[in-house]
Structure 1
Amino acid sequence: MHQPTVGTIREYTLGDDDVPWVLGTHLTERCGPLARAPDGNRVLLIEAHGFARRLPYHHHKLTLVFAAMRRFRDRLSDAGYNVIYLKAETFGDALETFFAEHPDATLVTMRSPSYGSERRFRDLVADAGGDLRVCENELFVSTRGAFDEWADGAETFTHEQFYRWMRRESGVLMDGEDPVGGEWNFDDQNREFPPEEWEAPPAPSPEPDVVVEETAAWVESTFDTWGSTEEVRWPVTREGARDHLEHFLEHRLPAFGPYQDAMRTDDWEMAHSLLSAVINIGLLHPLEVIKAVETAYHDRDAVSLPSAEGCIRQLLGWREFVRHVYRQTMPELASANQLEATASLPDFYWTGETGMNCLAETIGDVYDRGYAHHIQRLMVLANFATLWGVEPRELNEWFHATYVDAYHWVTTPNVVEMGQYAHGVFATKPYVSSANYVDRMSDYCADCRYDSDETTGEGACPFNALYWDFLARNEAKLRDNHRMRLMYSHVDAKREAGDLEAIREHVVDLRANVDDV
């Protein structure tokens, strides 16, 4: 059984009338109520369609979720479970059907990490005349109680402190009381740009799957989706997810570390694991991925410590951290907007039609596959939106709709807080930059119509003027931030030189002609 190793899970058993309810993001029989159910037990899965009409979700995202549920249904049926698989417009409709046919049943489910879901499910079950037990979500490495004890009532949190605590508590990459290699992280060694002759390791490609093909066609004809309807590359079974993990360990992990922040044209996958989508629906447990990466470091000469630690930090550190921060700060986090940003998201986030090559390439990656890696998300997509002054909730909704691995608990801390500095619960400064960062960490600027070295004038990269305008516009809120002092010394120099007025005029022109940016 897969369970969190940091913290204690309250043990429980299932009675004869208890029916595991497996949500579409809990597709595993290795933990939760299903892991405790006897062979042949009734199991409920609800394929609700109404949520898919609320946003223009990526075609691949809906295909992944629905196809994975259907394949999991078949897997359980083949294993001898009595699977009750209900398709309905809403969860409420399906629950009424279920309890009408199974009035004796008590549903037992793991808690969804999305805010308000437990209360909503309890209300729906009660309205249907049934009973519901909600248990700890075991698809994480740490428990809610463990984090709350560590946080000890704090109102702000630091990822690095949390990550070190998780390393100590879990024993991952530890040598007694010290981190393996003598350092807690090797981030400074993981910021290289690959040489021109470097070729990315081959990306995994799942075998053709009839269920995926049928589901993809059904999604295309049923919902108003966004994104390409071509080949869906994401695994939808436990076996496929395991194959992707092994492929990453063998072919991609050795190159992951040094180039994890790099961005290259026509190289959407680089050396990234491409595992977040299947982890977030339960096909892989984060702990098994962490342990596999740790073992690969010890057993495979090609896997360096910076590569292994960089990957483990994303799962053991960041993923766990944002999950807990999300539940600690909701619902305030979802509507946070401390910089009072009010601009609308430019249409080119949906169309990809922009002369800024970095944005066009990244949005194109997302359109084609529902994926772009973490630096593209933070330093291209969120960076531009923050400089432009996009209202955080609107950008959050875009990420939620367009990424295959996106759920509200995932995007809200990453987009609203990390991406747009809207709350202050853990981000200590806005993660914004001029074109200099994009030019240093990508090859996008070489083929762009804009000049990354120019701030104003025809052909100047919009990132540059927007960056200085952002700092000037938010000076009252940001100048006293000790991490921003150097940047504001440059603002002062530009003000003294009389450059800020030209920058402001250039930004006014950019905003007036946003369709031509």
Structure 2
Amino acid sequence: MTRASEIVLISGDQLTPAISSLRDASPAETILLMAEVAEEAGYVPHHRKKLAFLFSAMRHFAEEMRAQGWRVDYVRLDDPDNSGSLGGEVARARKRHGDLPLRVTEAGEWRLAETMRSWTNCTIIADDRFFSMPDQFAVWAEDRKTLRMEYFYRMMRRETGLLMDGEAPLGGRWNFDADNRKPAERDLLMTRPHAFPPDVITRDVMAMVEARFPDNFGTLSPFGFAVTRADAEAAFDDFVAHRLARFGDNQDAMLSGEPFLYHAVIAQYLNCGLLDPRRVCARVDEACRAGRVPINAAEGFIRQILGWREYVRGIYWHFMPGYADENRLGATRPLPAFYWTADTDMACVAACVRQTRDEAYAHHIQRLMVTGNFALLAGIDPAELHRWYLAVYADAYEWVELPNTLGMSQFADGGLLASKPYAASGAYINRMSDYCRGCRYDVKKRTGAGACPFNFLYWDFIARHAERLNANARMQPVLRGWSRFAEFEQAQIRNQASRFLAAMDDGQGQ
């Protein structure tokens, strides 16, 4: 056997043979190191289904690479000699194979990137799996008064040619979001995302997760995530064939008992490397040009990946590490226990938390306008909410989750990312879902017995932050609406909000 000349470390979010650290490597001369470590598995209390998905995907990727002729050194979490950290496993690998140079693709999260920079004899290579690089975002952001995603997205459309007709956007408009806000109707023929029965490797991983993480949030079974590249591709192909055409119209809709609707449910595959965002967007672009899906569906989907996903990554690397500490609204309330238990009478919150518990998944409106909206209105500490989102979703990595939570959802960056707070009363949830029909609270009542908490908390939020929000032109009509309430009604709203929040803080049922 040829003597190895280097070690290449592959982390759990780099599961592609096309990763930059392998591009010039020789299978015969390279030790491909992969390790399941307690430090990464436990820095937040990850959903058990998320842990099983990633460990199984890592083990399947190791087998894929062995089949291609690579020399894979794989360390399992239950290995009694496991050091518990990636740095420790690099050191142990160097003892096993000789003090070889190390090559890595840059980490996706700031904390791990800082750790990698401290390793000796280590070459760090840029991660080019994205459409744009952090330095490109920095050039775009330089000297701009506002960093709105829409303008970044248009630049990316022009650069990639996706959904473009020469220099003009396909369909004559850059953004079809106004067409994508329809509530969903129940459909007995609605397809579900492809589910994949656990194989021997996955069942072994599930048993390990069950044993080692018995108290972590989330149900482990049934388990249906794709854990191989081929199955992730099949899951995406199924979405394009059966749900993409209706994705646009109903992408903001929510229905009780229907966790997926017409969504792709592929973010976890994109974010760990099983799917290539370029291929995904190209497939959707081609389906649109061929007339198989409408432009609003294709544009809505591509905007989430080419626009939003790339944009929040740019925000993350441009403003870290300080961005993680942003809390411009001064929110300090602890995260309520019902974010873990779903033990609340607010039907919308309970439905989204139960779905999160069972699926390790909720779509963007459930996150933004239900669990995120409630946290914003109630003044929940954004750092606590951030850690919850990071823990409970299979697609959550800090680079994508942190800006979405602190910037988009909680307005904690003061408007750097979002043009206004995404605060809403119960009327929005009622319009976009059927959650309110079975709720003990009355979505049409602002105050009094049985009033929807989203209603009085919304106006209490407006009143608490009136001075700050007055500088935001988009919020001034709302502030004028508050000023038109009679003084006794303003007092009633604020008193009811105060009583509700005090009871929530005391752990009383809500």
1:453-482 CA-partner distances (Å, limit 9, x unpaired): 001111110000000000001111111210
Q: 1:118 to 1:513 in 2, by over 3 A?
A: closer
Q: Name the structure 1 match of 2:480.
A: 489
Distance 1:154 1:18 in 2: 43
Distance 2:296 2:150 in 1: 16
Distance 2:449 2:19 in 1: 58
Q: Name the structure 1 match of 2:60.
A: 71
Question: In terms of mean alpha carbon deviation, does 62-71 or 50-59 score higher?
Answer: 50-59
- May I ask how many residue pairs the two structures share in their alignment? 496
Q: Name the structure 1 match of 2:345.
A: 355
CA contact (8 A) 2:6 2:102 kept: yes
CA contact (8 A) 1:155 1:425 kept: no
Shift of 1:39: 3.4
The one-letter code sitting in structure 1 at the alignment partner of 2:116 is F
Distance 2:495 2:136 in 1: 52
Query: What is the aligned counterpart of 1:113 among 108, 112, 128?
Result: 108
Is 1:503 aligned to residue 503 of structure 2? no
Q: Name the structure 2 match of 1:86.
A: 75
Distance 2:114 2:320 in 1: 14
Correspondences of 1:279-290 after superposition (within 5 Å) = 279-290=270-281
Query: What is the aligned counterpart of 1:244 among 201, 218, 235?
Result: 235
Q: Name the structure 1 match of 2:429.
A: 438
Q: Name the structure 1 match of 2:359.
A: 369
Shift of 1:143: 1.7
CA contact (8 A) 1:113 1:323 kept: no
The one-letter code sitting in structure 2 at the alignment partner of 1:483 is R
The one-letter code sitting in structure 2 at the alignment partner of 1:66 is F
SS at match of 1:19: strand
Question: In terms of mean alpha carbon deviation, does 88-97 or 38-47 score higher?
Answer: 38-47
Distance 2:36 2:220 in 1: 21
Q: 1:197 to 1:248 in 2, by over 3 A?
A: closer
Q: Name the structure 1 match of 2:9.
A: 21
Question: In terms of mean alpha carbon deviation, does 388-397 or 50-59 score higher?
Answer: 50-59
CA contact (8 A) 1:338 1:422 kept: yes
Query: What is the aligned counterpart of 1:451 among 442, 448, 463?
Result: 442
The one-letter code sitting in structure 1 at the alignment partner of 2:73 is I
1:34-75 CA-partner distances (Å, limit 9, x unpaired): 233223332111221233233321011100111111111111
The one-letter code sitting in structure 1 at the alignment partner of 2:403 is P
Correspondences of 1:23-42 after superposition (within 5 Å) = 23-40=11-28, 41-42=30-31
SS at match of 2:123: strand
Distance 1:158 1:113 in 2: 23
CA contact (8 A) 2:425 2:454 kept: yes
Q: Name the structure 2 match of 1:3.
A: none
Using the size of structure 1 for normalisation, the TM-score is: 0.93
Distance 1:240 1:145 in 2: 34
CA contact (8 A) 2:184 2:254 kept: no
SS at match of 1:254: helix
Distance 1:16 1:53 in 2: 32
SS at match of 1:259: coil
Question: In terms of mean alpha carbon deviation, does 359-368 or 421-430 score higher?
Answer: 421-430
Distance 2:294 2:6 in 1: 47
Query: What is the aligned counterpart of 1:411 among 396, 401, 407?
Result: 401
Gaps of 5+ in 2: 77-81
Query: What is the aligned counterpart of 1:173 among 163, 167, 185?
Result: 163
The one-letter code sitting in structure 1 at the alignment partner of 2:70 is Y
Distance 2:476 2:395 in 1: 36
1:82-129 CA-partner distances (Å, limit 9, x unpaired): 111124211122122111123342111111121132221232x33xxx
Distance 1:452 1:234 in 2: 36
Distance 1:188 1:470 in 2: 26
The one-letter code sitting in structure 1 at the alignment partner of 2:352 is T
Shift of 1:198: 6.5
Q: RMSD between aligned alpha carbons?
A: 1.5
Gaps of 5+ in 1: 1-14
Correspondences of 1:13-412 after superposition (within 5 Å) = 17-40=5-28, 41-87=30-76, 88=82, 89-123=84-118, 125-126=119-120, 131-154=121-144, 156-197=146-187, 199-223=189-213, 224-299=215-290, 301-412=291-402
Q: Name the structure 2 match of 1:10.
A: none
CA contact (8 A) 1:200 1:267 kept: no
CA contact (8 A) 1:455 1:461 kept: yes
Using the size of structure 2 for normalisation, the TM-score is: 0.94
SS at match of 1:29: coil
Query: What is the aligned counterpart of 2:419 among 410, 414, 428?
Result: 428
Q: Name the structure 2 match of 1:5.
A: none
Shift of 1:366: 0.2
Shift of 1:254: 0.9
SS at match of 2:95: helix
Counting aligned pairs with the same residue, the percent is 38
Query: What is the aligned counterpart of 2:457 among 437, 448, 466?
Result: 466
Distance 1:21 1:450 in 2: 53
CA contact (8 A) 2:219 2:357 kept: yes
Q: 1:479 to 1:118 in 2, by over 3 A?
A: same
SS at match of 2:222: coil
SS at match of 2:110: coil
